[in-house]
Amino acid sequence: MSDEGRKPEDVTGADARWRLSRRSFLSQLGAAGVAATTVPLAAASPAAVAPATVVDGKEAIEGAIPVNLRINGKVLNLEIDPRATLLDCLREYANLTGTKKGCDHGQCGACTVHINGRRVNSCLTLAAMHEGDEITTIEGLGEPGSLHPMQAAFVEHDGYQCGYCTSGQIMSAVALLKEPCGHTDADVKELMSGNICRCGAYPNIVAAVQHVRRQA
Amino acid sequence: MEMFRFTKAADVPQAIQAAAQSKTAQQGAEVRFIAGGTTLLDLMKLNVERPGQVIDINRLPLDKVEKLPDGRLKIGALVRNSDLAHHPDVQRDYAVLSQALLSGASAQLRNMATTGGNLLQRTRCMYFRNDAMACNKREPGSGCPAIEGENRTLAILGTSKDCIATNPSDMNVAMTALEATVHIQGAKGERDVPIGEFFLLPGNTPHRENVLESGDLITYVTLPAPRTNSKQVYLKLRDRASYEFALSSAAVVVETSGGKVTFARVALGGVATKPWRSVEAERVLLNKSADEKTFRLAAEAALHGAVPQSQNGFKVELAKRCIVHALNTATKTA
């Protein structure tokens, strides 16, 4: 975003330095600790969305704005680059990397999350637009041991191959349960068309969605 | 994406005052309103849009659909496409609009995209979207390589020697067939613009796409009182069955009596530089027998002035068959 042409997953040159330090930093924190320590986290992982400078011995983000986001029931007080999409904010500031970046242009659905219970492409909305909203990511849906029925159905029906689109598919499928949708597989395919699976797991994805709809 | 100042508008006058600082409300605007963000952020990531200030208007009270006492339907600019498509009044009285909305984009995007934003949806022309290419719409005077280049999906109606970009919206086509009115609030007050006058032909100023001036905010759209005897159909033809822009689409609103057409509105999408109302087709239809022969004559009239390019000649026949099929479907539903 801020640094044109550089993708967050590039681990070369200058990127390698921040990414390695971020990784090693995060490796010392448990998942619970991550959610509770957002301010140092924000300072430690800004590079994908903002140029970092060192002020008073602390990394600061130029032009950063304060944003309070409620994600998976927890309030995070963040200082973010105003350009940060909700997707980048989730991944790079909140360390919720279950939400994936695919096309970054609203064409693939990998970044699908829920805002106030409705599915949206998190790549095409600014994080700063969502103060006061209830944001739910795949991490907030269920965890190993207590999976959401849709997550369990994807496992049971083998609704994935590489898995990159899966969190977006599941977030879409869960939202679909509350939307007007006919009973047929074709109806499900139409309402799931915003989620692309390049492995071609579509038949199993539809089976998983229909399985949960029949149980509901 | 270039850095911008992010602000939230507390009310409509504040939003207008801030946006009025921009030299233009068209391509190159320094100040942009953001609602759904599905067009704006996409284009900001491509450096096609580079506003210095982005004003979040999502908290403005423009998110209601209301029936007015005179029977018109008032649709707030911030009503999301999915909410509008599923609104009971829209489904019952303006079915063509509901069908058009649900044929566009994906469920996620429809949850985000707004009525006002969809009116301002930008073209998918690949030359416009790629800032390494020349494009008269993005950079006036730089040329239109689409005319000699990749133009399969581009327009055959309303084009000029400077621009052949297609208006990509489905909603706009239905709104055109329904004769919607766009309500605008701006630095100089409020005004109502019929949708047929809202969009501009490219001519030699393709960077100007509509009548909006600096500071102008679309506040709501109204639809005329419902024509309860009309049959309405939106037919969209495209390369994929779902989640794809139209190669050709038709929105038709038709009334018949005793086998004759007594009222007809025909608008086309995917083939024109703006949502394309065909009064020529409507004239052919009126008071004629509602059959395939009449529909074919209407389709011929609609495409009479078409100017195909090297790769999109197929759209001429496709658009005609789209019109005929839509009219057949509309008049055959009981």
Q: Say if A101 is an interface residue toward chain B (CB within 8 Å).
A: no
Q: Which of B40, B108, B239 to mutate to test the interface with A (most CBs of A within 10 A)?
A: B108
Half-sphere exposure of A98 (CA within 13 A, CB side): 21
Interface ipTM: 0.96
Contacts for B68 with CB less than 8 Å, ≥ 6 apart: B74, B222
- Decide if A103 contacts A82 (C-beta within 8 A): no
**Cα–Cα–Cα angle for B148, B150, B156, rounded to 5 degrees:** 75
- Give CA torsion, residues A138, A143, A146, A147, to 10 deg: 40
Task: Tell me the per-residue pLDDT of B81-92, one tens digit each, with 9 for 90 and over.
Answer: 999 999 999 999
**At residue B179, what are phi and psi to the nearest 5 degrees?**
55, 55
Contact A133, A118 (CB under 8 A): no
Ordered strands of the B31-34 beta sheet: B5-8, B53-56, B31-34
CB A113 within 8 A of CB A103: no
- Residue A210: what pLDDT? 98
Among residues B223, B242, B331, B124, the alpha carbon closest in space to that of A196 is found at B242
State the smallest CA–CA distance between residue B332 and chain A in angstroms: 24
User: Nearest by CB to A82, which of B6, B82, B109?
Assistant: B6
Q: Do A191 and B109 touch (CB under 8 A)?
A: no
Domains of chain A: 13-141 (3.10.20.30), 149-215 (1.10.150.120)
* pLDDT at site A61: 77
Considering only the beta carbons, identify the residue of A1, A105, A125 that sits closest to B1: A1
pLDDT of residue A27: 43
Q: Each residue of A25-80: pLDDT tens digit?
A: 444 444 334 444 334 444 444 444 544 555 555 567 788 999 999 999 999 999 99
Domain B231-332 has CATH 3.30.390.50: yes
Residue B184 β-bridge partners = B191, B218
CA–CA dist B267, A83 (Å, integer): 38
* pLDDT one-digit tens code per residue, B232-253: 999 999 999 999 999 999 999 9
DSSP secondary structure string for all residues of A151-176:
HHHHHHTT--SS-TTHHHHHHHHHHH
- Residue B4 contacts A where some CB pair is shorter than 8 Å: yes
Question: Is B105 in the A-facing interface, judged by CB distances under 8 Å?
Answer: yes
Q: H or E stretch including A78?
A: strand A74-80
Distance from the Cα of A29 to chain B's closest Cα (Å) equals: 32
Dihedral sign (CA B39, B152, B102, B63): positive
Q: Which residues of chain B have pLDDT under 70?
A: 333-334
Tens-binned pLDDT, residue by residue, of chain A (216 aa): 344 444 444 434 444 444 444 444 444 444 334 444 334 444 444 444 544 555 555 567 788 999 999 999 999 999 999 999 999 999 999 999 999 999 999 999 999 999 999 999 999 999 999 999 999 999 999 999 999 999 999 999 999 999 999 999 999 999 999 999 999 999 999 999 999 999 999 999 999 999 999 997
Cβ-based neighbours of A99, under 8 Å, separated by 6 or more? A87, A90, A91, A110, A111, A112, A113, A122, A137, A138, A167, A168
Taking CA atoms, A96 is separated from A1, A106, A139, in Å, by: 19, 19, 7
DSSP state of B225: S
Q: What angle do CA B245, B153, B106 make, to 5 degrees?
A: 10
Q: Give the pTM.
A: 0.90
Radius of gyration of chain A (CA): 18
- Cα–Cα dist A59/B173, whole Å: 50
Please name the residues between 242 and 281 in chain B that touch chain A, using a CB distance below 8 Å.
242-243
CB B218 within 8 A of CB B209: no
Residue contact B106–A193, C-beta within 8 A: yes
B295 phi, psi to nearest 5 deg: -65, -40
B157-180: burial string, b at 16+ Cβ within 10 Å, e else: bbbbebbbbbbbbbbbbbbbbbbb
Domain map (residue ranges) of chain B: 231-332
